[in-house]
Amino acid sequence: MSKLTILGLILWIVSGILVGFQALSTLMQTGDTYQWESLSIVDVVDAQYLTWADKISFHYAQQAVEYIINMPLFLLFIALGVICFIINGFRRP
């Protein structure tokens, strides 16, 4: 197995663990309603470190970065794992 395959598998495992912990925290809530709270980069990193995204001059690039920053973290890990597998598929042995 190549390094990219191992990295893709690790990213998928981390994503599964993250979904498991989020499901566990949802089940531990008290009350009648359960609300799923998915983590994103904005929730993990302090806002002062993400101000660079507002300074991007190209509008579509800024929208793409904002989308990636605000997307659920487990989906980001799954997407990065898929990208690792795709890149590994095009590499020559």
pLDDT of residue 64: 95
Specify the pTM. Answer: 0.86
The residue among 10, 42, 40, 9 whose CA lies nearest residue 22 is 40
Residue 10 confidence (pLDDT): 97
Helices (H), the chain: 3-27, 41-44, 59-70, 73-90
Please give the average pLDDT of every successive group of 10 residues along the chain, which has 93 residues: 94 96 88 83 92 92 94 96 94 77
What tokens does 57 get?
């001059």
